Structure 1
């Protein structure tokens, strides 16, 4: 940590420098620059004045996520929580600059993985910031998330590592204490949503900073229980409750995909049932995923069927999945919404909601992945080279090719990339998926992406070995002996894939 960053009294100052890739106009417009000198292609097309920083040539190239200036969201008079003051000053660093540095990083960087447009990013931060300002519990979790995320970029600051660990310990201790207090209180006592937000922020921390599944699962189960207890109560802030439902459903559904038996599916199921019953309202108010929220709910429903398959009649199991497959093939039956190109914020058009292009892209990528997921459950022996599967894979690849590599959408595409990747049989398909995961990791520095890459390489290697060993046999026969989720005889199913991390 430099003396300048530690001693500055300017709340909005950013203690690290943004990447200097591209001209000033492209960076200001948040557009990808082709860096053609003296005038880049974007400025040429848009008849803009193209200027380059004097120190661009001497600036080392670093990959950082795109940041939006949101420092003004935090009140200038905000001081470090009294409970945290003694801990942070142990390191002989002024407490206020540390607070400002972590809060600035949270609003400008660590929350962007979950927002697919600047408009939604602001709404996301509005609820987190407004809650944290009035809740030391939520503030502790915000600081823990921010410190650990910042540590991935500022690797040469040992004091930041100590601060990060202490902030995490403080956050977990406060969450545990508040949950115990809630359990000990009378049942008719009003329940605050602050604690739910705090637990979900810890879920963000466990997945994107440490990628520790063993610590994530208890947080998710706690969130499911807390939300279940609030289903019959009227929230003081309806929009905050809606936001919590959306954030919870994303984390829980994609974690249940690979770790379903370890999760509390019964209380979570009640939450998802309410989300499904209120799907129209949630889609209208969605702050994170737009219309794709309906697909996240579908993923959970399918996973719940798979986990409970042993206790269901086989005919009922297949009929329920067939209904879901039909809905996925006719997406308007799933969302009762129209998608089309628009601005960042969805708007009404002749009684229908029209979403942005990013909304449409994300929805289509998840829809195609869900179809592959359901098809493989309905027919576990289907080979990846199956014509219908390959049509879905190629459609996914075509859609993915239209998405820029630095788009915020890439941060929430690990699940679709894995599901489609398990059926990627051509070199071109595999290279595109691997390149997208690699590029996203360089921006987000999260082990989710590297672990997914390693897992897919292993699957593809087994696939190549299987094909080679079957070359002397009948090709058609080999197709249906191969299980795309593991080598022959392994009987991997989606809910027990040997994944070390979750896919959120």
Structure 2
């Protein structure tokens, strides 16, 4: 019987044949230290055990995620809005620590058994949502608004409850979760102002929601529509609230007092906004038309010059101007859609003019005059099919030239310092991108969809350069959807298309609205069809496959 040859420790560890010499040929060739293999277990080759955090919350441990151990709610649980639970006996924690203080809600986390923890679900979404407790709501809103709410020239609402108190119309845990999501996420995504005190979606709507079940219902519906991409199960509760708001608004329209008419107008506008950000519905048209009737009604005129009036009119004009892209109709507050309106002052004479109010600044984000100009361009688009002879063609081009002169005049006033905007600010860059998107759309309406035209090239370059200088999650990022779609539909090169697509994908996460996803799908459809037809009419693709997309 032959004796087994000796094997060095390295050849034994890598399971390779060894010649039995010391040093062996492999170790000599590779320059390793050759040692004989020990007869027992080689403890030197054991991999070091990874150290794990032992102070993380139970939620992160159940999902096998790293916890930052921020108490009482870690950042991961706060981001997912799930219940953050901790071990009852944690070493080196004082008795007065917030981690072991009983929650302000009736059901404390410490009293729940461990086997009912809803955070055992995977990362794709929790099965149950945690509500916002009264003390958490007061603490959050108090940090958001360090001083009292500005209520100059506003309707005297009989508020027995302040906005930092618990809303009495939140009846279930899902209601509280939706309301919490609206305060923390949705209202900030809708606001274009960096100053939280100028956010009308909080300053104006939260006090009204405290005394109005209708406004509370439509707020929860708006929050659920924004949240359903991440938590699809929550949409059922939000949809029930939306139906309730529709029923209640009919009752409010039968009243003529100031508070009821304001509640009705705000509810209809928020219903319209909910349908618009959903991106798959056409019902928003009926809500917008209903809001226009309310704004022109006699009871609503009693709100003129109040903060509530400014909020409703600003939001309506913003939605009305942007929706003209889909309808190619005159704005609803316009007297008519005749060609003479294009050469007039284009002012909505049925309502007093808006000043530079807080609602205007927070809703538009950029100069409101640009939205008037966009309405003029889209009104011109409605007359394209009416060019039946040489005379109508001359009139059409004369109206287009007048609109172009109006844009040039606005730019001259803007550059002269009337707007008082820092030239290097995000607002100025978003303004430039929006202006050139209007110029490009006007060119497309008059001259057609020639992608190699000199003005098209200049417009696309200006828009993309301005957009790329605006950081992600900027407050004015919501103003970039219309310029990005206009520039993307006119881009030929793959590099420019990728710039547009990448920014839209970022906006889907930073803003979270579903209609941004549908706008990106629209562009990808246009690009796919444009490879075979370079001069393809992107508008025809848009109206046939994505009729409900509005670039709000």
Structure-2-length-normalised TM-score: 0.62
Question: What is residue 407 of structure 2 aligned with on the other side?
Answer: 328
TM-superposed CA distance for 1:438, in Å, is 1.3
Bigger Rg, structure 1 or 2: 2
Aligned to 2:79: 18
Question: Residues 434 and 479 of structure 2 are in contact (CA less than 8 Å); yes or no, is this contact kept in structure 1?
Answer: no
Question: Which of 136, 143, 163 pairs up with 2:220?
Answer: 143
- Spell out the pairing of 1:148-159 with structure 2 (5 A cutoff): 148-155=225-232, 158=233
Task: Decide whether aligned partners of structure 1 residues 60 and 80 sit closer, same or farther in structure 2, where only a CA change above 3 A counts.
Answer: same
- In 1, Cα distance between the equivalents of 2:403 and 2:205? 34
Q: Matched residues in 1 for 2:549 and 2:276: separation?
A: 8
Question: Which SS does the other structure have where 1:418 is aligned?
Answer: helix
Equivalent position of 2:206 in the other structure: 129
Contact 1:417-1:433 at 8 Å conserved across structures: yes
Alignment-derived partner of residue 463 in structure 2: 396
Deviates more, 1:142-151 or 1:265-274: 265-274
- In the alignment, what sits opposite 2:4? none
> Does the residue aligned with 1:213 lie in a helix, a strand or coil?
coil
- Relative to structure 1, is the Cα distance of residues 282 and 386 closer, same or farther in structure 2, using a 3 angstrom cutoff? farther
Root-mean-square deviation (Å): 4.0
For residue 222 of structure 1, give the secondary structure of its aligned residue in structure 2.
helix
Task: Identify which of 270, 278, 287 aligns with 2:353.
Answer: 278
Counterparts of 1:48-447 in structure 2, within 5 Å, are: 71-72=141-142, 75-81=163-169, 88=171, 95=172, 97-119=173-195, 122-124=198-200, 125-155=202-232, 158=233, 160-179=234-253, 181=254, 192-208=261-277, 210-229=278-297, 233-235=301-303, 238-260=306-328, 264=332, 266=334, 273-274=348-349, 278=353, 281=356, 286-308=361-383, 313-333=392-412, 338=417, 353-354=420-421, 357-380=425-448, 382-447=449-514
Query: In 2, distance between residues paired with 1:267 and 1:228?
Result: 12
Deviations 1:315-370 (A, max 9, x none): 3432232122123245345668737xxxxxxxxxxxx6335812212211110100
Whether the 8 Å CA contact 1:71–1:108 is kept in 2: the answer is no
2:157 maps to which residue? none
Is the 1:307–1:495 contact (alpha carbons within 8 Å) kept by the matching residues of 2?
A: no
2-structure distance, mates of 1:447, 1:483:
26
- Tell me, what secondary structure is at the counterpart of 2:538? coil
Q: Distance in 2 between matches of 1:497 and 1:113?
A: 27
Q: May I ask how many residue pairs the two structures share in their alignment?
A: 399
SS at 2:371's partner residue?
helix
* Cα displacement string for residues 192-248 of structure 1 (whole angstroms, at most 9, x for unaligned residues): 32211111111221122x323322111111111111225982426622212222211
Report the Cα distance in structure 1 between the residues aligned to 2:487 and 2:248, rounded to whole angstroms.
Answer: 40
In structure 2, list runs of 5 or more residues that go unmatched.
1-57, 60-72, 82-121, 126-136, 146-161
User: How far apart, in 2, do the equivalents of 1:138 and 1:402 lie?
Assistant: 38
Q: CA deviation at 1:128?
A: 1.6
CA distance in 1, matches of 2:547, 2:248: 30
Match of 2:420, SS state, is strand
Contact 1:292 1:362 in 2 (8 A): no
Shift of residue 117 of structure 1?
Answer: 3.2
Higher relative contact order (CA 8 A, sep 6+): 1
Aligned to 1:502: 550
User: How many angstroms apart in 2 are the aligned matches of 1:15 and 1:172?
Assistant: 36
Going from structure 1 to structure 2, the CA distance change for 1:13 and 1:429 (only over 3 Å counts) comes to closer
Q: After superposing the two structures, state which structure 1 stretch, 367-376 or 196-205, moved more.
A: 196-205
Return the offset for 1:394: 0.5
Structure-2 change in CA distance of 1:387 and 1:230 (3 Å): farther
* TM-score when normalising by structure 1: 0.68
Question: Aligned partners of 1:263 and 1:497: how far apart in 2?
Answer: 24
- Cα contact 1:256–1:495 (8 A) shared by 2: no
More helix by percentage? 1
